[in-house]
Structure 1
Amino acid sequence: MLPLKIKEVAIYYPENVVTNEMYIQHFEKRGQDVRRFLELLGRKERRINTDPNETTVTMALKAIEQVLTKAQLTADDLQMIIFTSQTPETTVPSNAMQIVAALKPQPQTITYDLNANCAGMTVALEQVSHYMASNTAIQHALIIGADALPLIANDNDPLSYAGFGDGVAAIIVERSADATSGVIDAMYHVEATTIDKMVYPANGLQQTILEQQDFANIHMVPFDGGIVLEPTYHMFDTLFEKHHIDPQAIKYCFTQFAYNNIAKIKEHYHLRDEQVTYVGDRFAYTGTSSPFFAFHEGIQNGTIQRGDIVLLWTIGAGFELIATLIRY
């Protein structure tokens, strides 16, 4: 186990709450009844930004302020800043550099953006854990997951329009002498079977610019989300066997993309409700931060406590799976 711990977690989301009724009425006008679809997604409400000056960066700064306060740290205490997003406010400069401009950490701070789509923040945690293990100068790392997915949603597509929500998570990873906490292991699975099912910009950057096409909407084609389940079971079983873990004895924080997949995983492993934290009914799908919205909720309501083993699992477009075992 890599000797570190998630010291603190914070989330930020807009105040504006949008319930299912707006989307039901919206699609009824187009001849679609999305009630059953929203039930399968596990949606009841979501937070949608209405401030034209609010961006992934400004939302991130609000989450960062919270997490630094909770951790009793300042920007000077950070040796790494990693910003994960698939809807960056800018690609040049990096969003992480915009965070540097606002926080003004030490000049030797390692700073970069990471995009593994919805898997990004979980991938960053796994990567940071290895970096901290090999570089003892790193005492604290800040990882941010910030997406504004409703910004690129297509109002003709129920999945993106009704399924997405705005939100940011920030975590502080701290080097720890406590051998009972840390990242235990992680496992990936990649296969490009849905590479053309979720694309933004819809026709790629080059054609969009050269042909002056619209950047506004993500291109989404319906596909069977259940295709991720068999490789997911293999990943979980491998980790459980390797580390002698009883699935009934740990906690779970999954992608909040679709509740029906979570329900199938719960049934497959006979998991109790209190083992699996779900917040997609309240926050919808916030992208890269979504497993950490669940993680934050579990800590807040007491179902996740220090010493617990937690399995983080999420999916990046294309598709890429990551399962990460931690001891909190």
Structure 2
Amino acid sequence: MAIVHSRITGTGSYLPGAPVSNSELIAAHGLDSSDDWIAERTGIRARHLAGEGVAASDLALEACKRALEAAGRPANDVDLIIVATSTPDYVFPSAAALLQAKLGVTNGGAAFDLQAVCSGFVYALTVADKFIRSGSHKCALVVGAEVFSRILDWSDRGTCVLFGDGAGAVVLEASDKPGILATAMHADGSHHGILSVPGQVCGGKAVGDPFLRMDGQAVFKFAVKVLADVAHEVLAAANMTADQLDWLIPHQANVRILQSTAKRLHVPPEKCVVTVDRHGNTSAASIPLALDEVVRSGKVGAGDTVLLEGVGGGFTWGAALLKL
């Protein structure tokens, strides 16, 4: 019996509205900060923010349309939709179910959300790969979609300047050629306190703190370590070394984290994809956004070996090694 693999056959992304510069954000919210201060510490110069009434599934819809077009697939070929998001439209139904309806998919395929914060896309890609390799599904939409602007405290200059909204998607299909070479997922809930939104909806009102809170220094130290570790893990699983990578696409949180991760892996800076300067941290959307940008630019193409990796609140972390 032939071994079933999974391969990415199309990518797509979507950023809402015009870019909002650091200076524009500072002026809009009266922040005690400056463009130079933000850029020096984070590498971020701009981000996109969704307008009122625009939900995660709306951003996901546009990204998925572009990914399906790139793959040459009609929406009804999709039998699995996984949306990685921490900012879904509703408590329920899932953003994935809403997306399925907006795409016009009527074949009864599975659709669900996955919540692993900034590691969400890697988690979702890993899960979709296992579904396809099991033989149960043949064509998946794997999406990262976020409207983090809805959970930001605009008076907290240490967090509100870091994040943006957006969506990225890939079409993942069954193939006789390996595409996803190795994956890994991890979590350690004991670190939940250094990055969280410690609130919930109960009895018709928000209970606890409904805004994102973060210990930036603790997150930095943790992220740099686990990103290097999980990269080595998936490379070892595929019997490869870092010098065989064509591209490294880490979660776009902070340019210093990206630089430190690449340095630990001995990956040259020119092989590390950076979009955080223009997108900010879009959480689960950041990796597929970056992937789509470099694919559409022609910088990354068929046959390239690419390492995707992310770390997020929970704490969660993971990586996926793939051949395009």
TM-score between both structures, scaled by the size of structure 2: 0.90
Could you say which residue in structure 2 is the equivalent of 1:194? Answer: 191
Could you say which residue in structure 2 is the equivalent of 1:170? Answer: 169
CA contact (8 A) 1:185 1:325 kept: yes
Q: 1:305 and 1:196, CA in 2 relative to 1: closer, same or farther beyond 3 A?
A: same
Could you say which residue in structure 1 is the equivalent of 2:10? Answer: 8
Q: 1:273 and 1:210, CA in 2 relative to 1: closer, same or farther beyond 3 A?
A: same
Does residue 20 in structure 1 map to residue 16 in structure 2? Answer: no
CA contact (8 A) 1:2 1:184 kept: no
* Aligned amino acid, residue 231 of structure 1: V
CA contact (8 A) 1:189 1:231 kept: no
SS in 2 for 1:92: coil
Distance 1:212 1:286 in 2: 24
Report the count of equivalent residues.
Answer: 320
Offset at residue 32 of structure 1 (A): 4.7
Offset at residue 242 of structure 1 (A): 3.8
Distance 1:240 1:111 in 2: 30
Q: 1:30 and 1:67, CA in 2 relative to 1: closer, same or farther beyond 3 A?
A: closer
Offset at residue 272 of structure 1 (A): 2.0
CA contact (8 A) 1:277 1:297 kept: no
* Aligned amino acid, residue 150 of structure 1: S
Distance 1:33 1:193 in 2: 34
* Aligned amino acid, residue 249 of structure 1: Q
SS in 1 for 2:173: strand
Distance 1:58 1:31 in 2: 33
TM-score between both structures, scaled by the size of structure 1: 0.89
Does residue 42 in structure 1 map to residue 43 in structure 2? Answer: yes
Distance 2:229 2:242 in 1: 13
Distance 2:214 2:234 in 1: 32
Q: 1:160 and 1:146, CA in 2 relative to 1: closer, same or farther beyond 3 A?
A: same
- Percentage identity across paired residues of the two chains: 22
- Equivalent runs, 1:217-256 vs 2, <5 Å: 217-224=211-218, 225-250=220-245, 251-256=247-252
Offset at residue 66 of structure 1 (A): 1.7
Distance 1:265 1:197 in 2: 20
Could you say which residue in structure 1 is the equivalent of 2:140? Answer: 141
* Aligned amino acid, residue 73 of structure 1: R
Q: 1:299 and 1:109, CA in 2 relative to 1: closer, same or farther beyond 3 A?
A: same
- Equivalent runs, 1:53-72 vs 2, <5 Å: 53-72=53-72
How far does the alpha carbon of each residue in 1:271-328 deviate from its partner, in whole angstroms, 9 at most, with x for none?
A: 2233111111111111101111111122123332211111110012021110111111
Offset at residue 193 of structure 1 (A): 4.2
Distance 2:32 2:57 in 1: 37
Q: 1:25 and 1:96, CA in 2 relative to 1: closer, same or farther beyond 3 A?
A: closer
Could you say which residue in structure 1 is the equivalent of 2:131? Answer: 131
Q: 1:222 and 1:279, CA in 2 relative to 1: closer, same or farther beyond 3 A?
A: closer
Q: 1:114 and 1:238, CA in 2 relative to 1: closer, same or farther beyond 3 A?
A: closer
Could you say which residue in structure 2 is the equivalent of 1:152? Answer: 151
Root-mean-square deviation (Å): 2.3
Any stretches of 5+ residues in structure 1 without a counterpart?
A: none
CA contact (8 A) 2:145 2:166 kept: yes
Q: 1:165 and 1:212, CA in 2 relative to 1: closer, same or farther beyond 3 A?
A: closer
Distance 1:113 1:319 in 2: 18
